[in-house]
Amino acid sequence: MARFGILTSGGDCPGLNAVIRGTVLQGTGVYDHEYVGFRDGFRGLVYGDAMDLDRSVVRGISQQGGTILGTSRFGPYVEPDGGAAAMRASLERLGVDGVIAIGGDGTMAAANRLLGDGIPVVGVPKTIDNDLEATDYTFGFNTAVEIATEAVDRLRTTGNSHKRCMVLEVMGRHAGWIAMYAGVAAGAHAILIPEQPESLDQICEWVTSVRDRGRSPMVVVAEGFRFPDMDQAHSHKGMDGFNRPRLGGIAELLAPLIEEHTGIETRATVLGHIQRGGVPSAWDRVLGTRFGQAVSDLVADRDWGQMVALRGTDIVRVPFSAAVGNTKTVPLEYYRGSRAIFG
């Protein structure tokens, strides 16, 4: 009987537990697999710290946020005790025949190195930013967008009542998908993403033109957005004449600048960790479950070095090589197209 180990690595994401549940239920039900879960990402694999995952453990968990296995940013080749030998020893000791690594770009890169070192491994993509080229969508993104959209809906009423400009910062370090989706869904007046710098003047012009139409400007900004004159603007903020490292997020930097340049009272909100925790949306639970079922098929086939992915409505397999290092950013034409509807 085959026995596989699952680990979740990197930041937590709504839908992780659905993947774990889908894998175990399908793997034990269809293939007679056994499963263990490594605790806290690659740390559990390196130290052989694992828990049994039978059907009773995973029942009812897809509604829960986070991951029942725990997660960490432990680098299996970076940490002193890491390395292929340590991981191989853990697998042997636990009688585990292959590893299912659920994680983002960094995790897939590490998994690829494991594969090169002869460790049987497959992958499940996980990025709340939805910025992986190899898959149409990743789980967690949908929940984050719903939460961010509700936040915009809420902020808008305060903005309207006080005639203020409201700035909401959402996640998105290298790709602005959450900002794009939430901004379009909630009818923001400006969406600022890492892919496309915009000058402070341009932003203020948008804000002013919204106000001039009698409305209260709503700006959604991804955490990774940068504007050309940002460092100068920032040091300009120092009241004691010293340059210093920026505190707070981009929204907290932008809001006072917008207020200063436009004369419109402006308030910043940083959504932060609220976006990634809590009950996953149904969509993310379904996607996570399908990924989990498909990855149990992968290990049943011993199709090592593959990652599951969504293409249209199908779950497909893509090799690690195609998955690693390909960031899916918001296409400029989509970004520009969305400007047409900034009503």
The interface with a second copy within residues 138-157 (CB under 8 A) comprises 142, 145-151, 153-157
* Separation between Cα atoms, residue 269 and residue 28, nearest integer Å: 45
**String of contacts with a second copy for each residue 23-52, x by CB under 8 A:** --xx--xx---------x------------
Residue 166 CB, nearest distance to a second copy (Å)? Answer: 7
Angle separating helix axes 282-300 and 16-30, nearest 10 degrees = 40
* Separation between Cα atoms, residue 317 and residue 134, nearest integer Å: 9
Q: Using CB under 8 A, pick the residue from 4, 6, 9, 21 that binds a second copy.
A: 21
263 is written with which tokens? 């004369």
With contacts defined by CB under 8 A, name the span among 105-113, 235-243, 298-306, 318-326 that binds a second copy. Answer: 235-243
**String of contacts with a second copy for each residue 254-293, x by CB under 8 A:** -------------xxxxxxxx-xxxx-xxx-xx--x---x
Sign of CA dihedral 187, 189, 193, 196: positive
Q: Using CB under 8 A, pick the residue from 63, 199, 209, 321 that binds a second copy.
A: 63
Site for a second copy in 69-98 (CB under 8 A): 70-72
- Among the options 32, 40, 81, 129, which is catalytic? 129
Annotated binding site for ATP: 11, 73-74, 104-107
Name the DSSP class of 62: G
Q: Has 129 been annotated as catalytic?
A: yes
**Torsion on CA atoms 135, 221, 145, 176, rounded to nearest 10:** -10
Residue with Cβ nearer a second copy (248 or 325)? 248
Closest CA to 172 of 126, 129, 137, 139: 129
Total of chain residues touching a second copy, rule CB under 8 A: 88
As to burial, measured by CB atoms within 10 angstroms (0-12 exposed, 13-18 middle, 19+ buried), residue 16 is buried
Residue with Cβ nearer a second copy (29 or 118)? 29
By the rule CB under 8 A, 248 interacts with a second copy? yes
